[in-house]
Chain A
Amino acid sequence: MSNLLELQGVTKNYGAVRALKGIDLTLRAGEVLALIGDNGAGKSTLIKVISGAIVPDGGRMLFEGREVHVRRPEDARALGIETVYQDLALFDNSDIAENLFAGREPVRHILGVPFLRRAEMHAESARILSTLKIHIRSTKALVKELSGGQRQTVAIGRAVAFSQRIVILDEPTAALGVPEQEKVLELVQQLRGGGYSVVLISHNLEHIFRVSDRMHVLRQGETAGVLSRSATTPEEVVQLITGAKRLVH
């Protein structure tokens, strides 16, 4: 498989705190890469770099072998990278269709004024939800009326519906009930089946071993090891997370 996204020596400091100390990361086309590490290992910072939410202090980012500069979320979006943030970045007072289309609403210009195509938004939203096998009664329901699992599926749906290449999921199963977790894992597998590359942050090793192809373990802002699922065990991963073992590469 070819490398779709490559990070080389990415660093990020917050004042005296060195959040990322030179990370090399590779994401191949059509794989699920799990990003693993203890709290504060740098997982969230790293995906924020990829998604353009923060600008790294140093390092390079290559997309399909070509160097790219991602300084804003729009830059990442333009590359086909969509992110589902941990703190469910939804608009509570807006309805499902408005959330799915947030920031890229379809419009019709009348006298130069961009009028929303609401009917199209709702029809298209219903189609997106049904492709993803998400069952929500009406796309006119407000997001704050939804359950935690439904909210998460809307957030993922938004990323998936518009991503061309890469979907980044930050703890998508946290704070969900077991049936809802299953639903989300199913979505991840569906994504890989659809040819997307997925970066999955999770604390749940069982989930990771079920859906990921490779695992990138971070510890204290550095890479502790990169593992292939078929060639490792949960015990080894735990040793890497805790620092009991280290694979220099």
Chain B
Amino acid sequence: MTTPGAGSDSAPTSLAQRWLGGRSDETRKELVLRWVMTNAAFVGLVALIVISTMLSPYFLTEQNLFNVLRQWTMVGLIAVGLTFVIISGGIDLSGGAILACGTVVGALAMSKLGAAGAIVSVVFMGAAFGYLNGAVITWGRVTPFVATLGTMTVARGAALMLSDGRTVITQTPEWFQFWFGRGFIGPVPAPVIIAGLFFVAAAIALRMTRYGRLVAMVGDNEVAAYRCGVNVPRVKRSVYVIHGVGAALAGLLFLGRLGVGEPASGALFELNGIAAVVIGGTPFTGGAGGVGLTFIGLMVIGLTYNILNLLSVSPYAQDIARGVIIVVAVMFSVRSIRARR
């Protein structure tokens, strides 16, 4: 690696440089290497798909791939919110617990308010938990880790209290089951479409709107953001609200798929969500990253689970593989020079 900035005044000279956005003092080999390092998660995903396809004839089939997508919609929704939170320089551990509380609130509201009322209640509940996180962090000046750890415990406790610690059985209407659970539009599972819309909206917000800049500025340099007139506490609260809403939506997907409120659901989803964000290459230090990267990270985790299952590897060994992947991915993400949005 050469010193950044050195000689960067001169114009790009080769096609490779123009395409890969490199500096004029780099050789083509260095450029390709740098591109691979920068896009480590994407390269890893492609490699994973190629190797898996060779290992199992069932892997690269429409049904299998959409199955994987559907299995990971809930973690994916939490991971989208976590992307906002982590870019803003925070962390949120309460996603899984908010999901669980969402399934219980949704199941209880379903019989009294109908499905539409249940959806509104659950989304509102998620936003409220998210706002609680943001309020404790900004007004209470508690670090995000501790604040969201507290909310995680509170939300899980609320789920257990509301459900008496038991699975809440409820009747859900056909359309709710279709959109939040079992429906298909063509070959695409309906919940994948819902999660997909959330991903796309989030990606647009982060990349293309002023709000996305505010989130990145707060995570990159809080003092400078304040000096630039950014309402830092408000931006922080907003990312936790987005996270809470995503986790609540995940709870609705659980309810749609299984038709019950389950206070024990969503355990460790927040950690898989964090893993997806980090594997994608969004730095833990904040200020950069994006939802597209998180999607790549999510697929790396999902397809790893999937291929290990298809190959009948023991679940215990799978955990080891996943742990190794997370650490290796972070090693690459730390080395990557340009984190993209």
Contact = CB atoms under 8 A, between A and B. Distances in A.
A73 B231 CA distance: 11
B141 interface: no
Contacts of A144: 4
Where chain A touches its partner, the secondary structure class is loop
B338 interface: yes
A90 B221 contact: yes
Interface string A137-167: 1001110111100100000000000000000
Interface in A108-156: 113-116, 118, 135-137, 140-142, 144-147, 150
A74 interface: yes
B229 interface: yes
A205 interface: no
B339 A98 contact: no
A85 B211 contact: no
Nearest to A75: B229
A140 B10 CA distance: 15
Interface string B107-123: 00000000000000000
B8 A102 contact: no
Contacts of B226: 73
Contacts of A90: 221, 224
Interface string B189-230: 000000000000000000011111100110011011111111
B99 to A, nearest CB: 27
A103 B225 CA distance: 8
B9 A93 contact: no
Interface residues on B, range: 20 to 34
B57 interface: no
Interface residues of A, number: 37
B287 interface: yes
A113 B5 contact: no
Given A136-B9, A146-B5, A147-B5, A116 B228 contact: no
Contacts of B212: 116
A14 B217 CA distance: 29
Contacts of A85: 227
A142 B338 contact: yes
Contacts of A137: 8-12
Nearest to A77: B229
A93 B215 CA distance: 12
B292 to A, nearest CB: 16
A209 interface: no
Nearest to B208: A115
B317 interface: no
A107 interface: yes
B6 interface: yes
Interface string B273-284: 000000000010
Contact of A145 (B8, B213, B229): B8
Contacts of B225: 91, 102-103
B288 interface: yes
Contact of B220 (A83, A94, A145): A94
Interface of B: 4-6, 8-12, 21, 208-213, 216-217, 220-221, 223-230, 283, 287-288, 337-339
24 contacts: A51-B227, A89-B227, A90-B221, A91-B221, A91-B224, A92-B221, A94-B287, A98-B213, A102-B217, A102-B225, A103-B228, A105-B210, A105-B213, A107-B209, A107-B210, A113-B209, A114-B209, A114-B211, A136-B9, A145-B337, A145-B338, A146-B5, A147-B6, A150-B5
